[in-house]
Amino acid sequence: MATEVARWSGLIKRIRLVCRNCSEEYESRLLYACPKCLGALEVKYEVSGMSKSTFESRKRSIWRYFELLPIEDPSNVVDIGSGNTPLVKADRLGEELGIRELYIKNDTLNPTFSFKDRPASVAVSKAKEFRLVAVGCASTGNLASATAAHATKAGLPCYVFMPSDVERNKILQVTQYGAEVVLVNGTYDDVNRLAHVSCDLYDVGIVNVNLRPYYVEGSKTMMLEIVEQLGWRAPEHVIVPMASGALLCALHKGLKEIEELGMVKGSTRMSGAQPEGCSPIVDAFKKGLDYVIPVERPTTLVKSLAIGMPGDGAFALKTVRQSGGVCESVSDGEALYAASLLAKTEGIFAEPGGAITVAVLKKLLEDGKVDRSEEVVCCVTGAGFKATEHISQQDVRTKLISPKIEMLNTIFAR
């Protein structure tokens, strides 16, 4: 892969960091808050000579968008095959919900089974570029495996921090990549604080803390793929699960960038989904606030979205409002029902945090906030195997028989 990317390195690309708050610009380096105003930094690109066919001609991987990713030397790319996931026309689910133009961006099909492989691939590549000697993350469950898998491919030690109450399979999974797994007896916000101190004191690249401006760039490839899969057309409406709000903001940033390059026209409504037991961004949206009031104790079994103090909350609010979208929350029961419906209609087995976008779409349709003729893409961000605790015993319907031919009579109706 690295050698394939190397062949493109003749193209011109310059990256800088720009403050979201005061617009001050900085050379690209290991910096995540504006030294002047402490605002969040994001990556800005100067590229030229790009066209749709440049991207299309390359191997199907997030790295085909190399000029819009913040890595300077292609030999630093760490690739385990993230991205390039299907955009499925969901006719059966659409019929069930009463909407004609429904698509599922199926990001359960990533190397570690969640969309977090996209940002982890970019962040670990950047850690290599910065010559960092170790990486890590603060995780609600999915980022842990994504970071660990990319770290091991890069040959870097990896330290993952997560709340001790995340799903068992997510803990089992991450231990298999050989990472140092630290379970914190506290909330995600406690975990995040420890991760901040770790990178300040111990020089590690925490992918979603000190590498954050680079990390989020990986997520935007989901939108670049959606647009390309629709034949270089912006979808009318995209619904995104929100934890910190970073994914939603990144998708919108990706769309703006290819719009500026003249590759796509038209606008997309961006809507955000959260569980009722932890919905600080949705609550702020509904109250008309432009800031987010933290949720101290999340009470949801949708663990992957349980961030009480969303780092990109205010920016996500602004993005949703400017795009004409909405924020909506659903109960855990509605998220679980949506996961089951998605599996039973489209054959896609998602975790509740991934399927929550389907639950929110159902609610928005019922409330008349989405028109039944609107084209909607639901981002489904994590696989069902990662969170099996909630699958209730009544739901696991099987038949046990002795190995006798006459037993088949009890199974097939005549």
Ligand X SMILES: *Cc1c(COP(=O)(O)O)cnc(C)c1O
By CB under 6 A, how many residues form the interface with ligand X? 17
DSSP letter for 380, please: E
- Partner in contact with 106, chosen from Zn ion, ligand X, none, beta carbon below 5 to 8 Å by kind: none
342 near 358, Cβ under 8 Å? yes
Measured from the CB atom, the residue of 17 and 149 that comes closer to Zn ion is: 17
Measured from the CB atom, the residue of 5 and 249 that comes closer to ligand X is: 249
CB of 373 to ligand X, least distance (A): 27
CB of 321 to ligand X, least distance (A): 17
Q: Three-state SS for 47? A: strand
- Binding to Zn ion by residue 14, rule CB under 5 A? no
DSSP letter for 393, please: G
CB of 304 to ligand X, least distance (A): 4
Q: In the chain, what is the straight-line distance between the N-terminal and C-terminal CA atoms, in Å?
A: 55
Measured from the CB atom, the residue of 37 and 197 that comes closer to Zn ion is: 37
The amino acid at 156:
L
Measured from the CB atom, the residue of 50 and 336 that comes closer to ligand X is: 336
- Partner in contact with 37, chosen from Zn ion, ligand X, none, beta carbon below 5 to 8 Å by kind: Zn ion
User: Which residue stretch of 39-47, 89-97, 103-111, 406-414 sits at the interface with Zn ion (rule: CB under 5 A)?
Assistant: 39-47
CA–CA dist 91, 202 (Å, integer): 51
- Binding to ligand X by residue 353, rule CB under 6 A? yes
**DSSP letters spanning 267-325:** --EEEEEEEGGG-HHHHHHHHT-SS-PPPSS---S-GGG--SS-TTHHHHHHHHHHHT-
Q: What is the CA radius of gyration of the chain?
A: 21
User: Which residue stretch of 258-266, 340-348, 349-357, 393-401 sits at the interface with ligand X (rule: CB under 6 A)?
Assistant: 349-357
- Binding to ligand X by residue 323, rule CB under 6 A? no
- Binding to ligand X by residue 357, rule CB under 6 A? no
Could you tell me where the beta strands, DSSP code E, fall in 201-245?
A: 205-206, 237-241
CA–CA dist 240, 274 (Å, integer): 9
* Distances from the Cα of 377 to the Cα of 12, 260, 323, angstroms: 33, 22, 15
Q: Which of 142, 229, 319, 329 binds ligand X (CB under 6 A)?
A: 142
Q: Which of 280, 313, 382, 384 binds ligand X (CB under 6 A)?
A: 382
Helix pair angle (117-129, 142-154), 10° resolution: 40
Return the residues of window 236-275 that contact ligand X according to CB under 6 A.
241-247
Taking residues 278 to 307 in sequence order and writing x for each that binds ligand X by CB under 6 A, - otherwise, the string is --------------------------x---
CB of 237 to ligand X, least distance (A): 18
User: Helical H runs in 83-210?
Assistant: 91-97, 117-129, 142-154, 168-175, 188-202
Return the residues of window 115-134 that contact ligand X according to CB under 6 A.
116
- Binding to Zn ion by residue 39, rule CB under 5 A? yes
How many other CB atoms sit within 10 Å of the CB of residue 6? 13
Q: Which of 18, 21, 86, 196 binds Zn ion (CB under 5 A)?
A: 21
CA–CA dist 338, 213 (Å, integer): 32
Per CB under 6 A, residues contacting ligand X are: 114, 116, 140, 142, 241-247, 304, 351, 353-354, 381-382
Per CB under 5 A, residues contacting Zn ion are: 19, 21-22, 24, 34, 36-37, 39
